[in-house]
């Protein structure tokens, strides 16, 4: 049976990868620094949990024992992201290569190398580590998750105000749909030609419309304030570089996700 190691498998995306892989009958090991309590939403029954740190490398080599495929769903939400994503990728791929792991799959972001946003630069460096490793590698570049888009438009939600950036659209994808793409890449018989696939959700929608939808779903009037998004980050989004309309892999719409997440 194929054994998958999900690095960051207690996180939002990682736990969905663990659940998807188990559903397909794979053997799943989850790597993180902290183990989830059994009652926690991060706990996926049937997965094996190991403690390791991809930065310090404590426990890392042991975690690779008997692993066929590594899926990297690591993240760090603070300034530590460079260490976790970039140094962590280097340590993770080195340990995997040393253990004879067959394939590595990295979760990344659509056209991440076309933005100068600091976090995107770190993700680009992380991709480069994977491309330069001796492992058979697939990079899965996903569009923004439904959760992220909802969070962005709701930063002033407590005041009943929902925000949108002028001229920006999203192609939000659900986390479970993204997890399907990652597990496809982990077990698929063929590698994509350039070692990379991009996946988006089923619809491209203006940010104003997404903001209205979130506002209404939270019982408000759906009042939306549209603001300019300046600079190179603004250009990245206004030029639609975050979109992959020809790669609408996800099936769960933003509206369906809103009903499920608020209902
Ligand atoms: N949000 C989006 O719209 C979007 C879109 C496309 C791609 N992505 C990508 O999806 C990936 C996953 O994001 P997420 O939001 O699911 O992450 P998350 O919920 O923050 O989870 C991060 C995971 O990494 C683990 N981790 C962090 N530091 C570690 C370390 N030093 N050693 C071992 N494990 C460590 C965490 O567990 P511990 O803290 O217990 O170690 C946790 O399991 C990111 O790379 C992101 O760029 C996100």
Q: Which residues contact 194 (CB under 8 A, 6 or more apart)?
A: none
Whether the per-residue pLDDT at 160 is higher than 90: the answer is no
What pLDDT shows up at residue 13?
Answer: 98
d(Cα 241, Cα 44) in Å, to the nearest integer?
Answer: 34
**Tokens matching residue 101:** 């792991």
Å from CA of 247 to ligand 1 middle: 23
pLDDT of residue 263: 60
105: three-class secondary structure by DSSP = strand
In whole angstroms, what is the distance from residue 181 CA to residue 174 CA?
Answer: 11
Domain positions in the chain are: 3-143+174-199
DSSP 8-state assignment for residue 230: -
Please determine, for residue 158, whether its predicted confidence score (pLDDT) is greater than 90: no
Question: Rounded to an integer, what is the distance from CA 171 to the centroid of its chain?
Answer: 14
Buried b / exposed e across 216-244, counting CB within 10 Å, b at 16+?
Answer: ebeeeebebebeebeeeeeebbbebebbb
Query: What is the dotted CATH code of the domain comprising 3-143+174-199?
Result: 3.40.50.720
The pLDDT of 108-116, averaged and rounded, is 96
* Averaged pLDDT, 43-60: 98
5 lines ligand 1 (CB under 6 A): no
Radius of gyration of the chain (CA): 19
* Ligand 1 pocket: which of 6, 10, 11 to mutate (most atoms within 8 A of CB): 11
Residue 176 to residue 250: CA distance in whole angstroms: 9
Question: % helix / strand / coil in the chain, to the nearest 5?
Answer: 40, 20, 40
| Substitution site in 9, 35, 54, 73 for ligand 1 pocket (most atoms within 8 Å of beta carbon) | 73
């Amino acid at each position: 049976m194929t054994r998958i190691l999900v690095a960051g498998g207690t996180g939002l995306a990682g736990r969905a990868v663990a659940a998807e892989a188990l559903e397909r009958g794979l053997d799943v090991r989850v790597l993180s620094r902290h183990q989830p309590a059994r009652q926690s939403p991060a706990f996926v029954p049937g997965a094996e949990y190991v403690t390791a740190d991809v930065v310090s490398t404590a426990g890392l080599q042991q975690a690779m024992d008997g692993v066929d495929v590594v899926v990297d769903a690591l993240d760090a939400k603070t300034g530590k992201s460079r260490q976790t994503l970039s140094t962590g990728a280097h340590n993770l791929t080195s340990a995997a290569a040393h253990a004879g792991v067959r394939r590595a799959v990295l979760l990344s972001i659509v056209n991440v190398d076309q933005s100068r946003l600091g976090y995107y630069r770190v993700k680009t460096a992380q991709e480069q580590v994977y491309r330069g490793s001796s492992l058979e590698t697939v990079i899965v570049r996903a569009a923004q998750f439904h959760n992220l888009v909802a969070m962005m438009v709701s930063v002033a939600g407590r005041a009943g105000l929902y925000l949108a950036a002028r001229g920006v659209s999203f192609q939000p994808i659900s986390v479970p749909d993204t997890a399907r793409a990652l597990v496809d890449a982990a077990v698929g018989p063929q590698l994509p030609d350039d070692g990379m696939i991009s996946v988006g959700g089923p619809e491209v929608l203006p940010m104003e419309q997404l903001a209205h939808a979130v506002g209404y779903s939270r019982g408000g009037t759906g009042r939306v304030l549209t603001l300019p998004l300046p600079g190179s980050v603004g250009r990245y989004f206004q030029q639609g570089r975050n979109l992959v309309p020809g790669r609408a892999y996800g099936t769960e719409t933003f509206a369906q996700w809103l009903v499920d997440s608020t209902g």
